Structure 1
C-alpha cells in the first residue's frame, strides 16, 4: 500500500493537510500544558558587597611579592573576595602585610554572608590563588575600598657603628617587595663616647594606615618612645621614635657659651685638651673650645685623730673647659646634638684626636 495515494490521502484514509493541522494543534496543546504544569523558577538570592581590612601578620618575601591588587578568591559559589589595597611594613626582620578586600556574598536582613558567616571582627579569612595561600584576621569592616592611609613624619634615634652611619643619606628609600614604604628626609650624626659608634637622628616620612583612630606602621601605633625598624638596602635603622610630625630643623640655630667640667682624668688626657680644638667642620664647628683650666684633683684623707688632710692627687686632674656650642632654641629649651642642654647633664665631644665626656656646669 502506498503511504500517500493519488488523492493525497495518508494510508488511503486521512488527508495529509488535515493530518498536519491536527499535529500542529496537538503540539500547541502539549506545550501549553507543559508551561502551565511547570514549577515556578526559584528566586535568585540578593547579594551585596562590603570591604574588610585583613591583617596577615608577617609573611616571607616570596609570598609578599606575589600578592597584588585584583587577586580573587571564591570560597564557594556565592562568595567572592577581591584584594583592593596592599599595605606593607617592616616588622623586625620580617614583612608585615595588611590588605583591604572586597567581600561579595548573599544578604539576609541586610547582613552579608561571606563563606557561610558574616565578616565579623576577629574572624580569620583565607585567600587561595594559583600562586599563594594565606589567611588574615578581620580588623575593620566598612565602605572604603582602600586602607585609610596617610603619611607621617617621625624622628628616629639610633646608634650605629661609625662606618654604617655614613651610609645613611637623605633621599634613601625603604622598599619592601618593590613598594616604597618610607623615605629618609634628613640625617644628623653625632659622636658618642666610643670612637666606633655614632648617634644618628633620622627624619623619615612613613606610609602609614589608620586603624582605631591611630596611625600605624610596622604593626604598632606611632608614638614617642615606640621602637621602629627601617631596613634600607645598605643599613638598618632599629631605633626609637623621638617625635611624631617633628623635623630636625625645628628651632633656630644659635651659639651658646658653656662651661664644662671633667674630674679625675689622667694628666695626659688633661694635657691633650687645648683651646682651638673643635668638633665638626672647621668653618662651621658644632663645638669649639675657647679656654681650658687644669688643676690637680684633690685627695681628702681623714686621720686617726679625726683631722682632715687635703692633698693634690699625683696623677689625676680636674679640667674646666669653656666652649662655644652650636645649639637649637626650641619651645622646650636649648638642645645640643638633639639632646636637651642643661646644667648637670653630660655631653660628648669628638675633638678628632680625643673623644671626651664632660658635665655641663653652666650655660650663658
Structure 2
C-alpha cells in the first residue's frame, strides 16, 4: 500500500488537497486563539497604568538632530509650542553636519557636509516622574534615547544628549 495512491489520496482514503485544507484551517484557528488569549499577558504602558506616586513634570532635554536638510532645520520653531508633549523650544543652534570621508590614499578625514545640517535643541517636554523613572511618551527618558518630536509643520527625530529637571 502506497502512502499516496494514483488518485492523490492518503492511504487510499483521504484526498491530499482536503487534508492540506484542514491543516491550514487548524493552523489559522490555533494562531487566532493564541493571539486573542495571549493579548491579556502583555504589559500595558498606558497612562492609566501609572501609579498614584507619579507626577507630571516639565523637563529640559538637549536633543541633537543630525543630517537634515536646511529647510527642515529652518522649519523647527523657537519659543512656546502648542502641543501636549512639547512646551517650548528654549534654544536652537544650527551648524553643518560633520561627515567622515575616505581620501584616495585610504585615510579618513572629517569635513563639513555641503548641505546637511545638525540642529541642537534645548526643549521643554511634558514628562511623568515616578519613584524610579522619568518617562516621556510612556518610555523612560534617558540620554541616548531616540525621540521623535512633532512641531506641527515639521517632525524630527534626534538623540537625547542631556536631561535637566525644570522644577
Query: Which TM bucket (shorter chain)?
Result: 0.5 to 0.7
Note if contact 1:347-1:357 (Cα within 8 Å) is conserved in structure 2: yes
Partner of 1:257: 60
Identify if the C-alpha distance between structure 1 residues 269 and 249 changes in structure 2 by more than 3 Å, giving closer, same or farther.
Answer: farther
Output the CA distance in 1 between the equivalents of 2:65 and 2:160: 9
> RMSD of the TM alignment (CA)?
2.9
Is residue 2:86 matched to residue 1:275? no
Note if contact 2:68-2:118 (Cα within 8 Å) is conserved in structure 1: yes
Is residue 2:91 matched to residue 1:291? yes
Note if contact 1:279-1:287 (Cα within 8 Å) is conserved in structure 2: yes
- Structure 2 residues without counterparts, runs of 5 or longer: 1-31
Higher RCO, Cα 8 Å, sep 6+: 2
Is residue 2:116 matched to residue 1:316? yes
Partner of 2:42: 224
Q: Which structure shows the bigger proportion of residues in helix conformation? A: 2
Partner of 2:28: none
Output the CA distance in 2 between the equivalents of 1:297 and 1:220: 46
Identify if the C-alpha distance between structure 1 residues 314 and 322 changes in structure 2 by more than 3 Å, giving closer, same or farther.
Answer: same
Partner of 1:66: none
Partner of 1:326: 126
Output the CA distance in 2 between the equivalents of 1:321 and 1:289: 7
TM-score, normalisation: structure 1: 0.32
Note if contact 1:279-1:350 (Cα within 8 Å) is conserved in structure 2: no
Is residue 2:156 matched to residue 1:356? yes
How many residues are treated as equivalent by the alignment? 130
Output the CA distance in 2 between the equivalents of 1:349 and 1:269: 13
Q: Which structure shows the bigger proportion of residues in strand conformation? A: 1
TM-score, normalisation: structure 2: 0.65
Q: Secondary structure at the residue paired with 2:144?
A: coil
Note if contact 1:328-1:334 (Cα within 8 Å) is conserved in structure 2: yes
Q: What pairs up with 1:20-169 in 2 under 5 angstroms?
A: none
Deviation at 1:246, TM superposition (A): 2.7
Identify if the C-alpha distance between structure 1 residues 264 and 221 changes in structure 2 by more than 3 Å, giving closer, same or farther.
Answer: closer
Note if contact 1:287-1:349 (Cα within 8 Å) is conserved in structure 2: no
